[in-house]
């Protein structure tokens, strides 16, 4: 595993404004006991970004991220939020989460465009990709990931790659989809290896090493160790478990331990 792992907490639409600030406060307390080498990022909903930012000021161990941003820089997009609008608050942003893709017109091309746009604005994208249960059943995982990776990398220059993080999230393994089983850690590491090879083919080995590759899907303190101990896994994207401060702090500790 990389020396500087990335652990992203995706709070989704689960918390009230008050609960978001309280969660940030609890995490600050719990994580101040640890020597952190990696990037720990929490992603509240937009309206809570300023308050969580204020709560975390003077605590650089915890970085702030957004859960989504629009692919256009500005325009007549009612209800949407632009890169320039999140820039005062965040250093990171999740892009192309499957739950966003479900409720917007977010294609792979637009995901790629958004990721490149974020990098131009100094925000690190965490791009989500992964196959559905049906694609997995049809044995299409490799084809789906290869296509998503090709479209993603098309918008990138070699230097921009060092700001890119990609999370492999098999959609069927996300806790909200109530998975009957979880992916084998060895299989997820195999998919990340495929992703790294595709980056190396499009650029070179050195460029491929610089992209951070995460696993996401029902990660808990009980399961995280088995995923991050596999070779080539640079961290995790955590949904449900990231809204429980003790659980998330324990996940951070276990990932750091494996690094
Ligand atoms: P989960 O969510 O950890 O609750 O499965 C992960 C995600 O959707 O990013």
Name residue, tokens 């961290």. Answer: 235
Closest CA to 238 of 25, 63, 9: 9
Per residue in 188-242, pLDDT (tens digit) is: 999 999 999 999 999 999 999 999 999 999 999 999 999 999 999 999 999 999 9
Contact at 8 Å (CB) between 218 and 179? Answer: yes
User: Is 34 annotated as catalytic?
Assistant: no
Ligand 1 binding pocket includes 175 (Cβ within 6 Å): yes
User: Is 169 annotated as catalytic?
Assistant: yes
- pLDDT at residue 36 tops 90: no
- pLDDT at residue 1 tops 80: no
- pLDDT at residue 112 tops 80: yes
Ligand 1 binding pocket includes 237 (Cβ within 6 Å): yes
Alpha-carbon distances of 50 from 24, 30, 45, 93, 107, rounded to whole Å: 12, 21, 10, 15, 29
pLDDT-derived band at 103, boundaries 50, 70, 90: confident
Name residue, tokens 């204020």. Answer: 54
Per residue in 120-170, pLDDT (tens digit) is: 999 999 999 999 999 999 999 999 999 999 999 998 999 999 999 999 999
Identify the active-site residue in 99, 169, 230, 256: 169
pLDDT-derived band at 3, boundaries 50, 70, 90: low
CA of 239 to the centre of ligand 1 (A): 4
Please choose from 100, 182, 218 the residue to mutate so as to test ligand 1's pocket, defined by most ligand atoms within 8 A of CB: 218
Identify the pLDDT of residue 193. 97
> Mean pLDDT score of the chain, rounded to an integer?
96
Q: What is the mean pLDDT of residues 19-44?
A: 94
């Amino acid at each position: 595993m990389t020396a500087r792992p990335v652990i992203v907490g995706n709070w989704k639409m689960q918390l009230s404004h008050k609960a978001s600030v309280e969660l940030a406060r609890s995490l600050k307390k719990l994580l101040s006991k640890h020597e952190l080498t990696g990037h720990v990022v929490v992603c509240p909903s937009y309206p809570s970004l300023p308050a969580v930012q204020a709560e975390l000021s003077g605590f650089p161990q915890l970085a702030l991220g957004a859960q989504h941003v629009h692919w256009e820089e500005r325009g007549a997009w009612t209800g949407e939020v632009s890169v320039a609008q999140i820039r005062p608050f965040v250093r990171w942003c999740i892009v192309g989460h499957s739950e966003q893709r479900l409720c917007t017109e977010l294609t792979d091309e637009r995901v790629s465009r958004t990721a490149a746009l974020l990098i131009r604005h100094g925000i690190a994208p965490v791009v989500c990709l992964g196959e559905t249960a049906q694609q997995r059943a049809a044995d299409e995982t490799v084809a789906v990931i290869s296509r998503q990776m090709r479209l993603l990398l098309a918008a990138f220059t070699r230097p921009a790659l060092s700001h890119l993080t990609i999370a492999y999230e098999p959609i069927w393994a996300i806790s909200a989809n109530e998975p009957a089983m979880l992916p084998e850690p060895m299989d997820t590491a195999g998919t990340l290896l495929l992703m790294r090879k595709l980056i190396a083919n499009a650029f070179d080995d050195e460029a491929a090493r610089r992209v951070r590759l995460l696993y996401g899907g029902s990660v808990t303190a009980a399961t995280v160790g088995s995923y991050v101990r596999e070779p080539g896994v640079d961290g995790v994207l955590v949904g449900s478990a990231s809204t429980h401060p003790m659980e998330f702090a324990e996940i951070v500790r276990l990932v750091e331990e494996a690094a």
